[in-house]
């Protein structure tokens, strides 16, 4: 099925552990994004990649790193997880500007 695939769907980490959230799209989109969603805060942009080989910080980049591995894949890494990073993480991709984004189904991360 065409779309954006995120793995894993659920994860529990201990404070200080590291992990990588994976995202892949098969729509040949140039741009990819990572958001986090917290209650009452809406969606906040962590990092984005406007094209293969480029990445830029969003609104809340601290504590995260990203890699645009190729045109299809855009991963998000937490080097040392903190309870404040407990959230639902969404990856999205977009092609032409006027067509909006396609979102993955999310990764629910809990840091204890």
Partner 1 sequence: GDSVTQMEGPVTLSEEAFLTINCTYTATGYPSLFWYVQYPGEGLQLLLKATKADDKGSNKGFEATYRKETTSFHLEKGSVQVSDSAVYFCALNLNSGNTPLVFGKGTRLSVIA
State the residues that interact with partner 1 by CB under 8 A. Answer: 4, 31, 33, 40-43, 45, 48, 50, 58, 90, 92, 97-106
C-beta of 14 vs 40, nearer to partner 1: 40
- Closest-CA residue to 60 (of 42, 83, 35, 79): 35
Asked if residues 36 and 87 have their Cβ atoms less than 8 Å apart, the reply is yes
45-54: long-range pairs with CB below 8 Å, 24+:
46/76, 46/89, 47/76, 49/74
Least Å distance, CB 16 to partner 1, is 29
C-beta of 17 vs 55, nearer to partner 1: 55
C-beta of 38 vs 79, nearer to partner 1: 38
């Amino acid at each position: 099925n065409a779309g954006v695939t995120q793995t894993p769907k659920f994860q529990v980490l201990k404070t200080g552990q590291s992990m990588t959230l994976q995202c892949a799209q098969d729509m040949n989109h140039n741009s990819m994004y990572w958001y986090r969603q917290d209650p009452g805060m809406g969606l906040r942009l962590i990092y984005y990649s406007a094209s293969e080989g480029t990445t830029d910080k969003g609104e809340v980049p601290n504590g995260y790193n990203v890699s645009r591995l190729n045109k299809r894949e855009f991963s998000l890494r937490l080097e040392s997880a903190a309870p404040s990073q407990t959230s639902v993480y969404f990856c999205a991709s977009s092609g032409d500007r006027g067509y909006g984004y396609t979102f993955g189904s999310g990764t629910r991360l809990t840091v204890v």
